[in-house]
Amino acid sequence: MKPRHKRTAMIVGALATIAIAAYFVLNAFQSNLVFFFTPSQVGAGEAPQNRAFRVGGMVKEGSVTRNNLTVSFVVTDTLKEVPVTYTGILPDLFREGKGVVAQGQLGDDGKFTASEVLAKHDENYMPPEAQHALDQAEIEKTSQSLK
């Protein structure tokens, strides 16, 4: 092969590799995006029914009940609430009145079944997503009281 042809072949090969890789990447990317919704958004029906998403806010005081390994609790942003059930071991810092983010699916009955409850790593640290939910609710409240 002439050097020029060789060069062309190499470039074509490299481009083909990148194209295949890009296909894999974007395909997997599309199907694995997990969106976050605040309890208010879930209440307004904005969250998808048959796709996993995340919901976050505060664990409502007094809402935690346990039945063996299944835990039920309520996630609230002070405006709306989402009931959540989770089977398994909760992270160490899961507490009533503290921030929480849960990932899972919303059932037809409006109950959220979590496959994962995300841990915070520091007792004073609020998950940014949970903080976001509370902030949004705060903005909503102020704008309503102004009306």
Partner 1 sequence: MIPELGHFALILAMLVAAVFGTLSLAGGQQGKAEWIALARPGAQVLWLLVGFSFVCLAYSFYSNDFSVLYVVQHSNSQLPDIYRIAAVWGGHEGSLLLWLLMLCTWMMAVSLFSSQLPDAMVSRVLGVLALIAVGFLMFMLFTSSPFERLVEIPVDGRDLNPLLQDPGLVFHPPMLYMGYVGMSIPFAFSIAALLNGRLDAAWARWTRPWATAAWICLTIGIAMGSWWAYYELGWGGWWFWDPVENASFLPWLVGTALMHSLAVTEKRGLFRSWTIMLSLIAFSLSLLGTFLVRSGVLTSVHAFATDPKRGVFILLFLAVVVGSSLILFAARQGKVRSGGSFALVSRETFLLVNNVLLTTAAAAVLLGTLYPLIIDALNLGKLSVGPPYFNAVFAPIMTPVLFFMVVGSYARWKNDTVADLTKKLRPIAIVSVLLGCTAPLLAGEWSALVAMGLTLAIWIVLASAVQIYRQLKDTVNWKSTPVSYWGMHAAHIGIAICVVGITMVKGYETEKDVRMTFGDTVEVGGYTFRLTGIEEVPGPNYKADRGSVELIKGDRVLRVLHPEKRTYFSSTMPMTEAAIDTRFTRDVYVSLGEKLEGEGKPAWAMRVYHKPFIAWIWVGCLFMAFGGALAALDKRYRKKAAAKVSATDMKGATA
Measured from the Cβ of residue 14, the count of other Cβ atoms closer than 10 Å reads 10
Of 99-128, binders to partner 1 (CB under 8 A) are: 103, 118-123, 125, 127-128
Dihedral pair phi/psi, residue 23, rounded to 5°? -60, -50
Q: Which stretch binds partner 1 (CB under 8 A): 73-81, 90-98, 105-113, 139-147?
A: 90-98
Of 69-88, binders to partner 1 (CB under 8 A) are: 69, 87-88
Answer yes or no: are the C-beta atoms of 105 and 112 closer than 8 Å. yes
- The three-state secondary structure class of 19 is helix
Taken in order 126, 33, 113, 55, the sign of the CA dihedral is positive
Of 46-65, binders to partner 1 (CB under 8 A) are: 54
CA dihedral 9, 10, 16, 18 (to 10 degrees): -170
Of 10-49, binders to partner 1 (CB under 8 A) are: 10, 13-14, 17-18, 21, 24-25, 27-29, 31-36
Instruction: Indicate which single residue of 1, 49, 143, 145 sits in contact with partner 1 (rule: CB under 8 A).
Output: 1
Q: In angstroms, rounded to a whole number, what is the distance separating the alpha carbons of residues 121 and 98?
A: 13
Residue 104 Cβ, how far from partner 1 at the closest point, in Å?
12
In Å, the largest CA–CA distance within the chain is: 78
Structure tokens at 55: 């919901």
Residue 115 Cβ, how far from partner 1 at the closest point, in Å?
10
> Between 76 and 127, whose beta carbon lies closer to partner 1?
127
Give residues in contact with partner 1 (CB under 8 A).
1, 3, 6, 9-10, 13-14, 17-18, 21, 24-25, 27-29, 31-36, 54, 66, 68-69, 87-90, 92-93, 103, 118-123, 125, 127-129, 132
